[in-house]
Amino acid sequence: MTQIQWTLLSACGQWELNEASIDSAISASGSSRSGIPRRSHTNSPIEVSGLTFIPNLSAPLDEVEGVFGNGLSVTIPKVFADKPILGDRKQLCETVTRHFLEFSSKSILLFASQDALSASISRRYAMKEKSCPKDLSRWDLFQKAEMPHSLTNQTRGIRLVAFIFLLLFAVMRLIAQTSVPAPSISLPGSQSPFTGSEPEGNATPDVLQLSFQEAIDRGLRNNLGLLLSGDQTLTARGERWKELSNLLPNLSARVTEDVQTQSLTALGFKGNVFPFPVPRVIGPFNYFDVRASLTQSVFNFKDLESERAASESLKSAQYSFKDAREVVVLAVGNAYLQAIASAARIETTEAQVRNAQALYNKAVDQQKAGLSPAIDTLRSQVELQTRQQQLIAARSDFAKQKLSLARVIGLPPGQEFALTEKAPYQALTALPVEVYLQRAYASRSDYQAAQAQVRAAELSRRAATAGHYPTLDVNANLGDIGVTPAQSNGTWQVNGGVNIPIFAGGKTHSDVLEADAQLKQARSQLADLRGRIDYEVRASLLDLRSAADQVEVARSSVELADQALAQSQDRFSAGVADNLEVVQAQESVASAHESYIQSLYAHNVAKIELARAIGDAEQGVKRYLKGEH
């Protein structure tokens, strides 16, 4: 934990908060004094662990606020609460505030370790006692510290300004580097089905060696988006068979054995009509009938066009299934490349941690030998902890990227696997954009699916109009009927008829309107898709060229950053410069490596997107990653 000394440096000299005011500040902030040593004499520096007091110069006059480094806050009146007040409390606050405002360019609160002050006496600034304002010197709140008086006023001013800028730079860099991005969340229902899968098999204790091609093959078997697209193809096939059944003959057979009685009275037979008595009920009697029936639509233009529309819809579903395979290749390739990039970040961050550790060890050794101040050790320690934090985040991100890849390709939950391929880089010479556009319009499955959907809508429109046309049907039956099967006779019947629609209550008109709307939508979607294909092809080419240039620049940046780091380390070892140059060089190296990893990932993803844009992802993704067409 960082050791912090509260010291007020101002034009009146160096003043240190005494033990009582330290107790008051800690009590007001809700902290504990445990682990903070007490001094028997007030002129000895007081070390406070984990706290940094920074004044708020914009606070109101009646309440001068201070903010601790750990997020707690306290006011000046609370800090001075246990001290005797020789006047009005508001007057005290006004005096302290005016002092801060008048000497804001000369007075700061220095937080540095006791070792830093003892190691480099030239970094401590003092003013003569006679320059201390009376309104502050009369309070026993501050205890005056003995300081050397050998520095001239000009030298003290220059060093004070330099130290202020150095201190502010260190604080701002510490805040910026230690900030952690806020975690993001994804709500249910917002994810694409192509990011999920149906797990295949059970997890094994062995570590699965997963190559790029193996990941694509697994994705094409288990990806949820592809499975759902296959189900939609089955649905379209069922719809086609339903429409086709209206055109095919309907053949059925029936066997009947009938036993019954019949009421003659109910049929109108009366006894006074006939010269002989008529029974009220006759029977029972029976008959046996075996018969086959055939129904055939000879002409029904509506059913014919509906079947053709269903066939085009089936073709559209089949093309959509092929397009889903292309999307799966894109999703798997992107997930695999992201995992490779995360693994590369771990390697570079581990190297940066090793460099930061070596720098910290060297700073500690030089501080012990009295060759460098403690601020160099503190700076190198902050750099080391920053790199360690980045390494933790990189490892966590790599683990999550592997989980995402496992979800896309359908690995069993809990299955350990290792990526066998590194991020490839092969320059791809792009062809003219017209060539890619021609390939895209001829090969992209989603474009062919949209064309088939337009044809289906046109046929559905014709089928709706055919509702006004007459239809011709034929019915026939053939069978054997009698009292018993042994006493039966063969019979048959054939009849045909023409059905002419005259008025159907506006149903045909409504069908035509719906078909017109669907046709317009299909044509609009086809036109939009054609424009989107043009955009995707051109955009992927631009991304490919841009990413290739970024890779070259990033490579050069990595080499230059490595050279700058080596030179800064040599200067620090020779005592020519402090370790600030080394820290800055390490940051440049980290930034250069991150740019190279990101540009390499963008270059490979641009290749996959180009293959997807022209409809050749499944067959050509490996060729494009190798730099081949």
- Name residue 24's amino acid: S
155: containing domain: 3-178
pLDDT tens sequence across 86-134: 344 344 444 444 443 343 333 333 333 333 333 333 333 333 333 333 3
- Whether residue 530 is contained in a domain is answered as no
pLDDT tens sequence across 207-261: 999 999 999 999 999 999 999 999 999 999 999 999 999 999 999 999 998 888 8
- Whether residue 153 is contained in a domain is answered as yes
pTM of the predicted model, to two decimals?
Answer: 0.66
**Contact between 14 and 62 (Cβ < 8 Å):** no
Note the pLDDT of residue 457.
Answer: 96
**Contact between 613 and 354 (Cβ < 8 Å):** no
pLDDT tens sequence across 13-58: 333 334 454 455 445 444 444 444 443 333 333 333 333 334 443 4
Indicate the pLDDT class of residue 378, thresholds 50, 70 and 90: very high
- Whether residue 107 is contained in a domain is answered as yes
* Maximum alpha-carbon separation in the chain: 159
Place of tokens 């009582």: 20
Note the pLDDT of residue 429.
Answer: 86
Does residue 78 register a pLDDT over 70? Answer: no
DSSP 314-358: HHHHHHHHHHHHHHHHHHHHHHHHHHHHHHHHHHHHHHHHHHHHH
**Contact between 13 and 131 (Cβ < 8 Å):** yes
Average pLDDT value for residue range 546-567? 92
- Number of domains present in the structure of the chain: 1
**Contact between 54 and 83 (Cβ < 8 Å):** no
- For the chain, the C-alpha Rg in angstroms (whole number) is 44
pLDDT tens sequence across 145-194: 334 444 445 555 555 544 554 444 444 444 444 434 444 454 455 678 99
d(CA 543, CA 339): 20
d(CA 623, CA 608): 10
Q: Read off the tokens for 28.
A: 């007001």
Indicate the pLDDT class of residue 506, thresholds 50, 70 and 90: confident
Place of tokens 């006493």: 487
- Whether residue 18 is contained in a domain is answered as yes
3-state secondary structure 66-85: EEECCCCEEEHHHHCCCCCC
Place of tokens 């001239």: 152
d(CA 40, CA 46): 11
**Per-chain mean pLDDT for the chain:** 76
Question: How many CB atoms are closer than 10 A to CB 414?
Answer: 11
- Whether residue 356 is contained in a domain is answered as no
- Whether residue 606 is contained in a domain is answered as no
- Whether residue 365 is contained in a domain is answered as no
d(CA 285, CA 141): 127
Indicate the pLDDT class of residue 534, thresholds 50, 70 and 90: very high
Does residue 397 register a pLDDT over 60? Answer: yes
- Whether residue 15 is contained in a domain is answered as yes
